[in-house]
Amino acid sequence: MSTLPKLRLEHVTKQFSVRGSDETFTALDDVSIDLAAGEFLVLVGPSGCGKSTLLDLLGGLSEPTSGRILLDGRSVSGPGLDRGIVFQQYALLPWRTARANVEFGLEAKGLSKKQGRVLADDYLDLVGLAGFGDRYPHELSGGMKQRVAIARSLAFDPEVLLMDEPFAALDAQTRESLQDELLRIWRETGKTILFITHGIDEAIYLGQRVAVLTSRPGRVKTIVDIDIDRHVEDVRSGEAFRQYRHVIWSLLHSEVERARDLELGAATAGVEHV
Ligand code: ADP
Ligand code: MG
């Protein structure tokens, strides 16, 4: 029986050179995570811990300094249609309608104009935007724009959906309804999803597992298995949810404290040198 993970991060380290010096800055340090096919994994970590850096690596927009990223056992090199990315900013083309945004690039997949249109409408339907295909981005709310972005990613039928704080710019109400929509879409499509957030509730609500990252440099601190019944009313107020929130909050809180101590330490050291 094959137990090959869909996506594997293998001792991934990413360093940046510091401008104007020989030093390097380590953004990610020895990150190893496996995602099973069809899994919904959430990465949560403090601001600046390297989440977007990790997403860029997964998307093939940059390369690890060391370590490997494997999709179905094959090394990722460069961007590819096997990975769909949804960013925090909607990244829609403002001069194209919602439908035309979803259609964009589908010809490159060998679809005819007509097939592209049908597919785009199917995916707009899936994300709850049936009938909005002719609207331009400026005629859509933030939540609707993000639905279009999700539809566009899914239209390419990627193996893996990578999402970098896609709901962070939305109001709480819209965010919660998009979380529900995303869970529904995930169940309907069976996609493997890696979702990045700094929101604890969002992580618990969405993830089958939640990987907590340390602050600079980003390492995997713990992976928490989430086992809650999401079908009950107001699940975020339930006892199980509260316990998970406390566990993850404590893990993150100690990281935020550590980062502050490091910064204070550096500042004090600086003063002593003067
Ligand atoms: P997060 O998404 O978790 O908030 P990022 O991945 O954006 O964090 O950034 C992690 C760290 O790496 C930050 O300190 C950031 O300044 C640094 N960083 C990100 N990209 C670059 C780059 N291209 N060159 C130098 N430093 C970078
Ligand atoms: Mg980020």
Q: Write the pLDDT tens digit of every residue in 24-41.
A: 999 999 999 999 999 999
- List Cβ neighbours of 266 (8 Å cut-off, separation of 6 or more): none
DSSP3 helix / strand / coil % (the chain, rounded to 5):
40, 25, 35
Whether 174 has a pLDDT exceeding 50, the answer reads yes
* Cα atoms in the 13 Å half-sphere on the side-chain side of 196: 23
Any ligand 1 atom below 6 A from CB of 14:
no
Contact assessment for residue 69 and residue 31, using Cβ atoms and an 8 Å cutoff:
no
The atom number, within ligand 1, closest to the CA of 56 reads 6
Any ligand 1 atom below 6 A from CB of 27:
yes
How high is the pLDDT of residue 272? 44
Contact assessment for residue 6 and residue 29, using Cβ atoms and an 8 Å cutoff:
no
Whether 253 has a pLDDT exceeding 90, the answer reads no
Fold of 39-50+74-272: Rossmann fold (3.40.50)
The atom number, within ligand 1, closest to the CA of 17 reads 25
> Whose Cα sits closest to atom 4 in ligand 1?
48
Give this prediction's pTM.
Answer: 0.90
Would you place residue 268 in the very low, low, confident or very high pLDDT band (cuts 50, 70, 90)?
low
Would you place residue 139 in the very low, low, confident or very high pLDDT band (cuts 50, 70, 90)?
very high
Identify the CA nearest to 137 among candidates 182, 177, 89: 89
Cα–Cα distance between 229 and 180 in angstroms, integer?
Answer: 13
Ligand minimally distant from the alpha carbon of residue 43: 1
